[in-house]
Amino acid sequence: MDGFDPMNSFGPEVAAEYDDHPRGDEDAAADFLAALAGDGRALELAIGTGRIAVPLMDRGVEVDGIEQSQAMTDRLLAKRPDTRVTIGDMASADAPRRGYRLVLLVFNTIGNLLTQDDQVRCFENAARHLTDDGAFVVENLVPTAHLTSRGQFVDAERVTADEVVLDVNRYDPVTQLLEENHVSISARGIRMGPIAQRLTFPPELDLMARVAGLQLAERWGGFGREPFTARSERHVSVYTRGS
Number of domains in the chain: 2
Q: Which tens digits make up the pLDDT trace of 169-193?
A: 999 999 999 999 989 999 899 989 8
Task: State the pTM of this model.
Answer: 0.89
> Do strands 85-87 and 152-159 pair parallel, antiparallel, or not at all (unpaired)?
unpaired
Verify that 207 and 135 share a domain, yes or no.
yes
Q: Please check whether residue 175 lies inside any domain of the structure.
A: yes
- Residues 79, 19, single domain; the answer is yes
What is the torsion angle, in degrees rounded to the nearest 10, for the CA atoms of residue 199, residue 50, residue 62 and residue 128? 30
Residue 181 belongs to a domain with what CATH number?
2.20.25.570
Residues 224 and 113 in one domain: yes
In a domain, 181, yes or no: yes
Do both 11 and 128 map to the same domain?
A: yes
117: number of Cβ within 10 Å:
10
* Interval 94-149: pLDDT, tens: 998 989 999 999 999 999 999 999 999 999 999 999 999 999 999 999 998 556 66
Of 41, 39, 53, 236, the residue nearest 137 (C-alpha): 236
Could you tell me whether strands 234-240 and 215-220 are parallel, antiparallel, or unpaired per DSSP bridges? antiparallel
Q: What is the pLDDT of residues 58-95, one digit of tens each?
A: 999 999 999 999 999 999 999 999 999 999 999 999 99
Residue 60 C-alpha from the chain's centroid: 22
* Short-list 83, 78, 109, 114, CA closest to 97: 83
User: Do 98 and 210 belong together in one domain?
Assistant: yes
pLDDT tens digits, 8-31: 555 556 645 655 566 779 999 999
Same domain, 138 and 157: no
- The range of the structural domain enclosing residue 139 comes to 6-143+200-240
Tell me, what DSSP letter sits at residue 93? Answer: P
Kindly state whether residue 1 falls inside one of the protein's structural domains: no
Residue 96 lies in a domain: yes
Task: Determine the Cα–Cα distance for residues 121 and 210; give it in Å rounded to an integer.
Answer: 12
Helix ranges (DSSP H) in the chain: 12-18, 26-37, 53-58, 70-79, 116-129, 145-149, 202-211
Looking at the fold, whether 106 and 129 belong to one and the same domain comes out as yes
Same domain assignment for residues 101 and 169: no
CATH of the domain at 81: 3.40.50.150
